[in-house]
Structure 1
Amino acid sequence: MEQSQNVILQTVNLTKEFSSKSGSVQALKDINLSINSGDSFGIIGLSGAGKSTLIRCFNFLERPSSGKVFFQGRDLAALSEKELRQVRRKISMIFQNFNLLAQRTVLDNVIFPLEISGAEKDYSLARAKELLELVSMGDKLNAYPDQLSGGQRQRVAIARALANKPDVLLCDEATSALDPDTTEQILHLLKEIQHKLGITLVIITHQMDVVIKACDKVAVMENSRIVEEGKVKDVFVKPQSDIAKRLIMPHGELVKKIDSNRLIRLTFDGLAAGEPILANLILACRVPVSILQADSNTIDGVTYGQMLIRIPDDNISESRILAWLEENNINYKKERK
């Protein structure tokens, strides 16, 4: 199959079905996705969207029911078991629950995949120590996993995943078990490692904040399909799917609690994020507006914002406000209960 030289992972019409007592369950439906070498690629969706199944198809831990998976242009279904094992060394994974070996020290955990691949002992020891220094765990070589914090365990898991010099690092909800400060540290570490080693990051998450902080591109999943895909900043500012809008500003419960149908969600980017948009709107339209929720994020050094506002409960005021928003190129969506 023809493929761009820069594409490292690709799925073509990928479908995955599981059998159950009640019948067949389709976990993935016609997934077409291309990830370039060096990308920081996020795959986001709510629980049950199919994210984890998709990431496990990338290295054939789950074999597709139909469709194709390509790694560096090679059809994984056409590989022998030996060839597939070699490919899996180049597509490594880290997990939400770390999956460290409790009876092994930190150092021995990182050495373990090198033992399996048949590396020499001296090389394995030196490589493990080098990686533990890379993830700031060089002072914990002889500690055991149960002596470490969650963030420290994930650092060890990252070092272990890098042992065989992979080209792709798959991160399956790798920060979901961590507190916000530790999450930020781990995401920063992953980005540092990517820049130093030139690897491709694929991050599975249900949190838009994780995608914003760690990814350049994103695919949004719902009901086993990809419903939206693009650069993170484009999806953040102009989400096309309802699920993307919910993930970016999850105010569904807030909307339900408010006794009004005159709610508008605003998104704005770049210089507009620093402008007094609401003040200008009120002055221009001469109507009172209430801020119910607001948020901002920095993507590639540029601030992007979003806001949920309540407007007066009359058609004339609403028409005036919507006309002003359109005239000033402010992205908006009317929220309905």
Structure 2
Amino acid sequence: MVRVTGNEASMVLVMGVTGSGKSRFVNLLRGGSVEEGDGLMSVTQECQIVRVKIGSELAYVVDTPGFDDTTRSDADIFEEITTFLATQYASGLALKGITFLHRITDVRMQGSTLSTMTMFKELCGDHALKSVVLLTTFWDKLSDKSIGARRQQELRQEFWLDMTAKGSQVRRFDGSRDMAEALVMRLVDRPPVVLQIQRDIMQQGKRLEDTGVGRKIATRLDRSLEEKDKELEDLEKQISKASKRRSSRDLKQLEERLGRKLTERERIYASRQKLKASLGPEINAKVEKQQKSSPIMDKIQFFASILGMTVSVTTNIVLPLLGVAF
């Protein structure tokens, strides 16, 4: 194992759908540490680590991309988050908890939000849900707070009931720096947690497609591939007919459509192939190599060096805040 220098540190993940305020939350801890978007387009393209000092404790807060990313597939996001978490586990860095953000301004649970929540629960596993804080955000955007209160109660009683039954906490986020700091401080005081995805990949040696999240994504991709194959078959028949009619205009348009569909299929196929990866051996090999080349290193620097990441640094002084005790 790595010989650690300096103080031990803890990690807290910030997760949620695109536009739920993850980067905003992290920037309350350190202004300008991560890029924020002003809409529902995703800005965070990869996991980003920000170091903060909370009282006498060091914490590493991680901004994560959402599964409903506007430019990357769920398979890409899943592979990245899993690689990050598996490497964190292999590096011996303590994960203390997760804040999962949800917009209170959402009138109803959309399909992508429900899908993200399902994958999130699979990622954590039932045993780790006690280390999750479900944080409702953007209360400042509501003119009538009673509407938000009713929505949060609905979330608690219907959509999050199974999670709260296993120990997850629901909190209303007031958008302040004080509360962001206090929430992180409360999580840092908790014992370390090992997520289901870490057990699957690092303890049981599963491939991505054999995990709970991986199976759900693989099923969707397999269905998409079948649909694309049918579309391609239909297009090829149309091209054959247009060729026999010697309709050059129709033929050109159909061939252009065929090219686009082939590109789409290649993208889906590439995503599906990623899920066949077995990350455990690769990550263990990288950890072993790094241990030999740098046997004395701070855990977070050791972890970041394996992933080729940098760590943003800040120091905060946090006072106790009422209303966020778990």
TM-score range, shorter chain: under 0.3
Higher helix share: 2
Higher strand share: 1
TM-score by length of 1: 0.24
User: Comparing both chains, which one has the higher relative contact order based on Cα–Cα distances under 8 Å and sequence gaps of 6 or more?
Assistant: 2
